[in-house]
Copies of this chain bind each other. A is one copy, B any other.
Amino acid sequence: MTRWLDDEEQQTWRAFLRAVAVVQSGLDAQLQAEAGMPHAYYELLVRLSEAPEGTLRMSALAGAVHSSRSRLSHAVGQLEQRGWVRRAPCPQDRRGQLAVLTAEGRRALQQAAPGHVEAVRRLLFDRLAPAQVRHLRGIAAAVAG
Binding site for B on A (CB under 8 A): 1-5, 8-9, 11-13, 15-24, 43, 66, 113-114, 117-118, 120-121, 123-125, 127-128, 132-133, 135-145
Give the oligomeric copy count: 2
Residues of B within 8 A of A11 (CB): 137
Residues of B within 8 A of A4 (CB): 117
* Pairwise interchain contact B120-A5, C-beta atoms closer than 8 A: yes
Q: Give Cα A143–Cα B141 distance, bound, in whole angstroms.
A: 18
* Pairwise interchain contact A13-B128, C-beta atoms closer than 8 A: no
Residues of B within 8 A of A23 (CB): 20, 143
* Pairwise interchain contact A124-B19, C-beta atoms closer than 8 A: no
* Pairwise interchain contact B140-A15, C-beta atoms closer than 8 A: yes
